[in-house]
A = this chain, B = another copy of it.
Amino acid sequence: MVRDVRMRGFAERADVAEVDAFLADHVERLAAEEVALLECTGRVLAEGVSAQVDVPSFPRSAMDGYALRGEETFGASEYAPIAFELIGTALPGEAFEGDLGKNQAIRIMTGAPIPAGADAVVMAEVCSEPAGGQSVEVGEAVPPRKNVGAVGEDIRKGDAVLAAGRRIRPQDAGLLSSIGRPQVSCVARPRVRLVITGNELLPAGSAPSGVQIVDSNSVMLRGLVARDGGELLRFEILPDIPERIREAMADGEADVVLVSGGSSVGQEDHAPRLLGELGSLDFHGISMRPSSPTGVGRIGSRFVFLLPGNPVSCLAAYEFFAGPTIRRLGGRSPSWPHRRVKLPLARKIASAIGRTDYVRVAIEAERALPLATSGASILSSTVRAQGAVIVARGHEGMAEGEDVEILLYDEEPEILPENPERMEGTVRGSSNFGGQS
Contacts and interface: CB of A to CB of B under 8 A. Distances in A.
A31 interface: no
A121 to B, nearest CB: 12
A410 B169 contact: yes
Contacts of A433: 319-320, 335-336, 390, 407
Interface string A186-226: 00000000000011110011111011111111011111101
A280 interface: no
Interface stretch (A175-183, A241-249, A296-304, A364-372): A175-183
B211 A412 contact: no
Nearest to A149: B377
Find the residue from A93, A133, A182, A201 having the highest chain B CB count within 10 A: A93
Interface string A92-136: 111100000000000101111100000000001100010001000
A99 B153 CA distance: 84
Nearest to A113: B211
Contacts of A410: 167, 169
Contact of A133 (B1, B4, B93, B413): B4
A392 B165 contact: no
Interface string A220-234: 111110110000000
Interface stretch (A36-44, A69-77, A271-279): A36-44
A107 to B, nearest CB: 5
A135 to B, nearest CB: 11
Given A200-B111, A383-B161, A434-B335, A167 B213 contact: no
A396 interface: no
Contacts of A223: 41-42, 169-170, 173
B167 A332 contact: no
Given A89-B3, A163-B416, A200-B92, A17 B178 contact: no
Given A37-B204, A427-B334, A430-B392, A92 B268 contact: yes
Nearest to A410: B167
A412 B333 contact: yes
A3 B94 CA distance: 13
Nearest to A339: B339
B219 A154 contact: no
Interface in A392-437: 392-393, 407, 409-418, 423-424, 426-435, 437
Contacts of A173: 219-220, 222-223
Nearest to A239: B93
A5 interface: yes
Nearest to A24: B427
Given A169-B410, A409-B171, A213 B178 contact: yes
A87 B1 CA distance: 8
Contact of A412 (B178, B315, B332): B332
Contact of A415 (B149, B332, B429): B332
B2 A133 contact: yes
A145 interface: no
Question: What are the nearest 4 A-B pairs in CB distance?
Answer: A93-B200, A170-B223, A335-B435, A174-B220
23 contacts: A2-B107, A5-B129, A9-B125, A24-B428, A41-B223, A55-B380, A56-B377, A64-B266, A92-B198, A92-B211, A109-B266, A111-B198, A167-B410, A177-B215, A177-B219, A180-B207, A333-B423, A334-B415, A334-B423, A335-B427, A336-B433, A390-B430, A392-B430
